[in-house]
Structure 1
Amino acid sequence: MWFDRDLARQLGRPSLPVRVLVGPRQCGKSTLIAHLKPDAAWLSLDDIQVRLRAQDDPALLLETSGASGRRPIVLDEAAYAPNLFSEVKRRVDLARRRGDPEPEFWITGSNRLLLDREVRESLAGRASYFFLHTLGVSELGQAASLADWLFRGGFPELYVRRELDVARYFEDYVRTFVEKDIAATAGVEKLHEFHRTLGLLAARTGAILDAAEIGRLAGVKGQTVSGWLDLLEQNALAFRLEPYHANLSKRVVRRPKIYFLDAGFAAHLQGWRSAEPLLVSPQAGLLFETLVLGELVRLQDHRGMPLKLSFWRTKEGEEMDFLVELTARGQSRWLGIEAKLAIQQVQPAPIPNSLTRELPELRHVWILTPGGSESQLSKSCWQMPITQLTRRLEEWAGS
């Protein structure tokens, strides 16, 4: 089964000679490149023998792998062989000095901590970054339902092989990627507390972040929680959504909200092992809101839409789930978005008075629902199924 990836359009555009494709493990990076570049020479640094050869003699490895010709060359999980980066730099620079066509390198990586360091040191001015997330609603299309979105999330393997046990898949994912690749590389020693923090953060997806409270419950300092959250953000597993505030009003909540970028992964960390009880639980609403945030981030990273995301909440309880600022042709436009886990009898969402005073440019609100049809609920408010979000935002951006 093949899913058309929205990022493919961005990857097909002109860029610097080294394309760096980053994203969490098993989100589909290698599959996407193999689809786009079927003739590429391929080196997987997950292979210990290839890794050792890359460290000992990277020039010989590239020469014997097809890099001497015009074929694209893929260095999969290249951060595990740091010596490769200086050799890639040498080859790009040599082609530029000679006036030859630049070699085409594709570098993938799941561990941003390792990859960023090597790219900064060796490939500045030679590499373009691209970010791939797990499958979004628009990419899954008819292959997924609400239960899939919230329970399976967007990991391609869980759709290609539906017979897989979802809970077991995510348990393995935590052990192999989150604990081994991320935590171990960053020197996290308190794995039990780290794992507990993951669950506490997931239980609060869509909520205001209180690192001190989470730290107290996990048995670590709030500062430690913030550092671990930095790791999750850096590796595209979590996202801190900052509040909108144009002035220093004391009425506006100042702390960010925390979201996971894959609703299914968040549901697993919350402890759900089947979809049916999840869908009727109190957590389902915030997981759907998590799904909406993930779609907005994917529009930024996969389709290159110039969106700036924030939220609005006052200490008196006035709020808007998401504020979307679109900058085009030197002008900013604003849209409010509410996530609602309902289809029928959805009521219009008025723009809070406090937000109208702060941001008079905001005139429209979309209420995103898991299904149904698009309808106008009031002069300024529309109900819209989440499956139409990508199309409608692109239309809005082009209007």
Structure 2
Amino acid sequence: MIPRQAEVSLHQLAGWYPAVAIVGPRQSGKTTLARLAFPDKPYVSLENPDEREFARQDARAFLGRFPEGAILDEVQRAPALLSWLQEVLDADRRAGRFVLTGSWQPGLRGGIAQSLAGRVGHLNLLPLSMQELQEARLLPATLAECLLKGGFPPIYDRAIPPHVWFGDYTATYLERDVRQILELRDLAAFHRFLRMCAARTGQLVNLSQLAADCGITHNTAKSWLSVLEASFLVYLLPPWHRNIGKRLVKTPKLYFLDVGLAAWLAGQRSEEAIALGPLRGSLFETWVVSEVVKTLRNRLLPHELFFYRDAHGREIDLILEAHGAPTLAVECKAGETPAGDWFAPLARLADEIGAASAAIVYGGNTDQPRDPVPAIGWRHLPDLLARSTG
């Protein structure tokens, strides 16, 4: 069992709200975290047909068994239960009574928004972060292995080969979640859509081109992408602009939140294929962005994330912003040896947008304190984030 950084945040939320919802992609460790953090709470899984039927048929009696609260696992399987839970929480507003876990489906999202607004704290749990793997002494030995495996816990807990686990995961996800949400009739088209998205990780979203390549309509591509985003499988990184209104209308960039899944969907089945293939740079950038997202969500940090691209094509891969001001500008370089022309362009752009600091995260193992910006080896990304986020 790998300790999770988010456990501290989970206990904080449980001290503030009557209920806490742990949501995230399937197999990210939500149930394990809930039971580890609250070992004395009764545990009920709504994947159990008997429990699910009880909750649906007599929600009042179902909840009445737990006067001191409980862990309700996979609560999206009985979304109507949330309306009854509102009554229970309003009658007794003690903090931390109920812990809910679930995949973020429309029924769960709507139920929490309508019934439990103001009563539940949210924790988004993503796959294992690099720092969690480091602390558990499970971090892969090479960058290519890290990009191949990603961070889903079963790959490390059970030592399942990535190509086996991701194949099963994708099939299960299609059959259990997406088919229910979208009422899919053509699974092959959606699987093709997934692969096309993976091949475009780290790129600007072009829905028209994506739809054309998959043989689907623009509106279908938009709907499917929104489901992937709501399911915590992909992340849309918005552009940074001094005019906040313009951030809302510009095209975002697409990233998978688990680089291993992106690599598998894009057909990368070995470390050699990643190390020597054309997707190395985009997968490395995907990994950096996903690690930053994990860090912020695990620690409930209020920073916002953006990328920057001006009319001349000059670009910053990632900008962390806090309190309306850029605090860190990051450029991602998959090369193992820093090149002399990496540094000055980032320094100039970071200065132009007013970033407090800048750094290049690259595929080498050692830090290099270059002037005017440092090069940070990929293994030391957690240290950079700790310094930059406080």
Amino acid at match of 2:54: R
Within the alignment, does 1:390 sit opposite 2:387 as a pair?
no
CA distance in 1, matches of 2:201, 2:17: 37
Question: Which secondary structure does the structure 2 equivalent of 1:376 belong to?
Answer: coil
Q: 1:262·1:291 contact (CA, 8 Å) conserved in 2?
A: yes
CA distance in 1, matches of 2:346, 2:7: 39
Matching of residues 253-272 of structure 1 within 5 Å: 254-272=250-268
CA distance in 2, matches of 1:353, 1:27: 37
Question: More displaced, 20-29 or 118-127?
Answer: 118-127
CA distance in 1, matches of 2:347, 2:363: 28
Match of 1:134 among 111, 127, 130: 127
Match of 2:230 in 1: 234
CA distance in 1, matches of 2:64, 2:170: 37
Match of 1:143 among 138, 144, 161: 138
Structure 2 vs 1, CA of residues 102 and 296 (structure 1 numbering), >3 Å: closer, same or farther? closer
Q: How much does 1:342 deviate?
A: 2.6
CA distance in 2, matches of 1:193, 1:114: 24
Question: More displaced, 54-63 or 343-352?
Answer: 343-352
Q: 2:288·2:332 contact (CA, 8 Å) conserved in 1?
A: yes
Within the alignment, does 1:350 sit opposite 2:351 as a pair?
no
- Superposed CA deviations along residues 320-359 of structure 1, whole A, max 9, x for unmatched, are 11122133xxx73432101111333443422469846851
Q: 1:351·1:365 contact (CA, 8 Å) conserved in 2?
A: no
Q: How much does 1:188 deviate?
A: 3.3
Match of 1:59 in 2: 60
Match of 2:72 among 72, 75, 89: 75
CA distance in 2, matches of 1:315, 1:333: 19
CA distance in 1, matches of 2:91, 2:55: 20
**Number of corresponding residues:** 380
Match of 2:177 among 181, 197, 220: 181
The alignment yields a C-alpha RMSD, in angstroms, of 2.3
CA distance in 1, matches of 2:158, 2:171: 20
Q: 2:16·2:96 contact (CA, 8 Å) conserved in 1?
A: no
Q: 2:21·2:120 contact (CA, 8 Å) conserved in 1?
A: yes
- Superposed CA deviations along residues 226-277 of structure 1, whole A, max 9, x for unmatched, are 22111111111001111122259x9xx9421111010000011101222222
CA distance in 2, matches of 1:73, 1:356: 48
Within the alignment, does 1:159 sit opposite 2:156 as a pair?
yes
TM-score (norm 2): 0.91
CA distance in 2, matches of 1:245, 1:20: 33
Match of 1:27 in 2: 28
CA distance in 2, matches of 1:113, 1:390: 33
Matching of residues 325-336 of structure 1 within 5 Å: 325-327=321-323, 332-336=325-329
Q: 2:319·2:326 contact (CA, 8 Å) conserved in 1?
A: no
Q: How much does 1:206 deviate?
A: 0.5
Amino acid at match of 2:344: P
Match of 1:48 in 2: 49
Q: 2:367·2:377 contact (CA, 8 Å) conserved in 1?
A: yes
Matching of residues 82-231 of structure 1 within 5 Å: 82-96=79-93, 101=94, 104-141=97-134, 142-145=137-140, 146-162=143-159, 164-231=160-227
Q: 1:26·1:156 contact (CA, 8 Å) conserved in 2?
A: yes
Q: 1:113·1:186 contact (CA, 8 Å) conserved in 2?
A: no
Match of 1:364 in 2: 357
Question: Which secondary structure does the structure 2 equivalent of 1:143 belong to?
Answer: coil
Question: More displaced, 234-243 or 112-121?
Answer: 112-121
Q: What fraction of aligned residue pairs are identical, expressed as a percent? A: 32
Q: How much does 1:176 deviate?
A: 1.5
Q: Counting helix residues as a fraction of each chain, which structure ranks higher?
A: 2
CA distance in 1, matches of 2:369, 2:117: 49
Match of 1:285 in 2: 281
Q: How much does 1:10 deviate?
A: 0.7
CA distance in 1, matches of 2:120, 2:152: 27
Q: 2:82·2:112 contact (CA, 8 Å) conserved in 1?
A: yes
Structure 2 vs 1, CA of residues 103 and 37 (structure 1 numbering), >3 Å: closer, same or farther? closer
Question: Which secondary structure does the structure 1 equivalent of 2:374 belong to?
Answer: strand
Q: Structure 2, unaligned stretches of length 5 or more?
A: none
Question: Which secondary structure does the structure 1 equivalent of 2:336 belong to?
Answer: coil
CA distance in 2, matches of 1:173, 1:92: 35
Q: 1:153·1:265 contact (CA, 8 Å) conserved in 2?
A: yes
CA distance in 2, matches of 1:353, 1:346: 14
CA distance in 2, matches of 1:397, 1:166: 32
